[in-house]
């Protein structure tokens, strides 16, 4: 497979049904029946919202749909990785089997396959491991590829999320699981072992910035999946802009969410994600 | 087919400027966009004479009272718009007009180009550029922009607005629509100014000025900003350019910008409590207490943003139309009736409800 295709998204949001919610430590894997969606490219996302109790309530939040990476595809099923960090994610975490979920997508630019037979290194932090799961599936479908997976978490409850991917090396901030320290320390070792690599990263902005800087100094290509608050998800509102190298802005929704690290001077703080 | 100031429209729903980008949407949704184009006319994002990068991020904040946005009108400038975007839009809107019914006697979906200048001369120059291109069916003036000399929003002052429209009128035979700003004491007076200057229609409303302050930082949360500083990179929503923020906080600090927020958040809070009273009466509209027109208009302006959230889809939008005009916004409704205008037209993008009132 030299090319990962991306068919256009259906024009309207679709009402999907939750078929299961699985706890994964501090996270939840939301599984929805999704037969008709075009097969997403790894790294693409969907704008999702609960069909019920979305808006209203005491302060009427949440009401904007939330942008979520498609974490995994199974036959007739899409999966999203959730962490309760705000009104939108809290509501999504309350979903149960049989509930409705509005979804628009798949949207945005996904990951590009590795070039020149480079070895893929997947670097994920926290809930940002989500798009790396579907990426690992796609890379391993190309049987001969070696894939290294490095995941970092705050603590042991979150480190349970590492089970979403196969064969991960784990680092934790508090040392409760795996390497006690920064994810970039694991990345540094991997690149020292063999720098003929293609890095794929997703996670909090400071982590992405550290990965970007390390890859830049070692001349390793990196594709970074960014996060931003969005009102539309398809290029209309310009709300998700991040500064690009040389001035101006990129829209995370249509110029990304996967952006070549070379296009960025630095990874700015997430653009106000409405959590 | 309905007619709106000379444009023939298949139905009553169009996008609000800046809430839908047809070229980006074509990329995301493919040929289905033209086959099932959701709007009866397409309004472009605001175009200015020179290109603009837009405001620093973050640009969005989901607040209880509505979406606050501080985008800053990023656009490539009128020359690049005409050279690069216009041919693509024309092709897309021609396909959309066929609506999958190719071969029939179809007309393109009309293109309304939205422009903004910071003086009457700049507006007139933009209108003149648009006039030369047959692909553009109508021109919408975004007058929520500070005058370069006075710093006051052009559209906030009826006399100034009339002068701007009067400067544009002789430069085009296309319909001129004025997108009114809600950030003024007297919206109907500004609408009358627009009409006196020669506008064919007005759009209501542009973005409400608002500000969100960052909450207390949470632990090591890297996204947290200094507590009580403005959350948005451009400080306030509803300011089209950063220099208007400078005007707003003239000589002040970010803390002073926070002080300034006092009255606008209070306005939102009042509208929210009015909304709660209405809810308490099981959806029946309760006439706001009698107060001067300025206060009522301000509340209605806020209510437009609140109402948006109940409009979940195009169908709901159509259902909501009569209540939006006659119940939710009685002063606007009465104005349009008393002036013999037909409140014939409204639109909603992903963020906002607009009403368009035709003077014809």
CA–CA distance, A159 with B37 (Å, rounded to integer): 45
Interface contact B71-A204, CB threshold 8 A: no
Could you give phi then psi for residue B137, rounded to 5 degrees?
-85, -35
pLDDT higher than threshold 70 for residue A89: yes
B145, B168, B190, B249: the active-site residue: B145
Closest partner residue to A237 among B29, B231, B351, by Cβ? B351
Interface contact B222-A249, CB threshold 8 A: no
* Helix, strand or coil, per DSSP, at residue B206: coil
CA–CA distance, A11 with B30 (Å, rounded to integer): 8
Could you give phi then psi for residue B178, rounded to 5 degrees?
-105, 120
| Among the ranges given (A55-59, A68-72, A147-151, B49-53), the one the predictor scored with the smallest mean pLDDT | A55-59
**In terms of CA atoms, which chain B residue is nearest residue A271?**
B58
Domains of chain B in start order, with CATH, are 2-210+226-358 (3.20.20.70)
**In terms of CA atoms, which chain B residue is nearest residue A9?**
B29
Q: Return the CA Rg of chain A.
A: 18
How would you write the pLDDT of chain B (360 residues) with one tens digit per residue? 778 888 888 877 778 888 889 999 999 999 999 988 888 899 999 999 999 998 888 888 777 666 777 888 899 999 999 999 999 999 999 999 886 454 555 789 999 999 999 999 999 999 999 999 999 999 999 998 777 677 778 888 999 999 999 999 999 999 999 988 877 777 788 888 998 999 998 887 777 666 666 654 443 344 444 555 566 666 555 544 333 322 222 222 222 222 222 222 222 222 223 333 333 333 333 333 333 444 444 433 333 333 333 333 222 333 233 333 333 344 444 444 444 433 333 333 333 445 566 565
- Respond yes or no: is residue B145 known to be catalytic: yes
Question: Averaged over A54-60, what is the pLDDT?
Answer: 67
**In terms of CA atoms, which chain B residue is nearest residue A207?**
B222
Interface contact A11-B33, CB threshold 8 A: yes
Number of inter-chain CB pairs under 8 A, A vs B: 125
**In terms of CA atoms, which chain A residue is nearest residue B276?**
A58
Task: Give B283→chain A minimum CA distance, Å.
Answer: 14
pLDDT (tens digit, 9 = 90+) per residue, A197-237? 999 999 999 999 999 999 999 999 999 999 998 888 999 88
Interface contact B67-A231, CB threshold 8 A: yes
Residue B64, chain A, CB below 8 Å: the answer is: yes
pLDDT at A142: 79
* Helix, strand or coil, per DSSP, at residue B346: strand
Question: Considering only CA atoms, which of A174, A269, A82, A124 is closest in space to residue B222?
Answer: A269
Domains of chain A in start order, with CATH, are 14-107 (2.40.30.10), 119-263 (3.40.50.80)
pLDDT at B236: 59
Contact present, A157 and A184 (Cβ < 8 Å): no
Average pLDDT of chain A is 91
In angstroms, what CA-CA distances link B296 with B18, B153, B265, B269, B329? 27, 20, 16, 14, 9
User: Which residues have CB under 8 Å from A224's CB, separation 6+?
Assistant: A201, A202, A208, A211, A212, A258, A259, A260, A261, A264, A267
pLDDT at B234: 63
Paired with B213 in beta bridges are: B230
Question: Averaged over A100-113, what is the pLDDT?
Answer: 95
Closest partner residue to A238 among B25, B56, B59, by Cβ? B59
Chain A residues bordering chain B (beta-carbon distance below 8 Å)? 7-11, 55, 59-64, 107, 204-206, 228-232, 234-243, 247-249, 251, 254, 268-274
* pTM score, whole prediction: 0.80
């Amino acid at each position: 497979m030299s090319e990962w295709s991306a068919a256009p998204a259906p024009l309207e949001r679709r009402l999907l049904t939750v078929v299961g919610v699985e706890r994964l430590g501090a996270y939840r894997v939301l599984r929805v029946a999704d037969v008709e969606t075009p097969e997403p490219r790894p790294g693409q996302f969907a704008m999702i919202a609960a069909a019920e109790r979305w808006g209203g309530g005491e302060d009427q939040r949440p009401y904007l749909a939330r942008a979520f990476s498609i974490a995994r595809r199974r036959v007739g099923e899409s999966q999203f990785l959730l962490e309760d960090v705000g009104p939108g994610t809290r509501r999504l975490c309350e979903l149960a089997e049989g509930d409705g979920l509005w979804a628009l997508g798949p949207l945005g630019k996904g990951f590009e396959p590795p070039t020149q037979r480079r070895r893929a290194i997947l670097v994920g932090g926290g809930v940002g491991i989500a798009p790396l799961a579907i990426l690992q599936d796609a890379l391993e479908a190309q049987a001969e590829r070696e894939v290294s997976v490095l995941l970092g978490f705050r603590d042991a409850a979150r480190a349970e999320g590492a089970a979403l991917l196969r064969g991960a090396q784990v680092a934790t901030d508090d040392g409760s699981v795996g390497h006690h320290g920064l994810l970039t320390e694991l990345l540094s070792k991997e690149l020292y072992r063999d720098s003929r690599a293609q890095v794929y990263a997703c996670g909090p902005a400071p982590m992405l910035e550290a990965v970007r800087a390390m890859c830049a100094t070692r001349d390793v290509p990196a594709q970074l999946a960014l996060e931003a608050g969005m009102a539309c998800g398809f290029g209309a509102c310009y709300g998700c802009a991040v500064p690009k190298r040389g001035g101006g802005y990129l829209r995370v929704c249509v110029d990304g969410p996967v952006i070549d690290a070379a296009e960025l001077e630095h990874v700015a703080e997430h653009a106000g994600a409405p959590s | 087919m309905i007619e709106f100031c000379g444009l023939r429209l298949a139905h009553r729903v169009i996008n609000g400027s800046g809430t839908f980008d047809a070229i980006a949407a074509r990329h995301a949704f493919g040929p289905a966009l033209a086959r099932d184009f959701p709007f009866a006319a397409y309004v472009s994002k605001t175009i200015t004479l020179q290109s603009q990068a837009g405001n620093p991020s973050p640009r969005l904040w989901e607040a209880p009272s509505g979406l606050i946005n501080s985008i800053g009108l990023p656009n490539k400038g009128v020359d690049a718009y005409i050279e690069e975007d216009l041919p693509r839009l024309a092709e897309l809107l021609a396909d959309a007009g066929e609506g999958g019914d190719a071969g029939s006697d179809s007309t393109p979906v009309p293109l309304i180009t939205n422009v903004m200048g910071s003086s009457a001369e700049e507006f007139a120059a933009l209108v003149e550029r648009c006039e030369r291109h047959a692909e553009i069916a109508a021109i919408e003036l975004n007058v929520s922009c500070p005058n370069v000399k006075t710093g006051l929003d052009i559209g906030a002052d009826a006399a100034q607005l009339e002068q701007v429209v009067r400067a544009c009128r002789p430069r085009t035979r296309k319909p001129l629509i004025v997108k009114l700003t809600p950030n003024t004491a007297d919206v109907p007076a500004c609408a009358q100014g627009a009409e006196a200057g020669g506008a064919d229609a007005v759009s209501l409303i542009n973005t409400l000025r608002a500000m969100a302050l960052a909450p207390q930082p949470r632990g090591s949360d890297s996204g947290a900003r200094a507590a009580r500083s403005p959350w948005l990179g451009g400080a306030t929503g509803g300011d089209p350019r950063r220099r208007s923020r400078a005007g707003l906080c003239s000589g002040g600090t970010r803390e002073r910008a926070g002080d300034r927020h006092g009255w606008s958040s209070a306005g939102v809070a009042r509208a929210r409590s009015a909304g709660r009273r209405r809810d308490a009466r099981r959806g029946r509209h309760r006439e706001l207490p009698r107060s001067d027109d300025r206060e009522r208009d301000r509340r209605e302006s806020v209510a437009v943003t609140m109402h948006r959230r109940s409009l979940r889809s195009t169908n709901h939008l159509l259902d909501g139309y009569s209540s939006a005009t006659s119940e939710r916004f009685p002063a606007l409704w009465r104005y349009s009736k008393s002036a013999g205008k037909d409140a014939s037209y409204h639109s909603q993008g992903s963020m906002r409800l607009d009403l368009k009132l035709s003077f014809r």
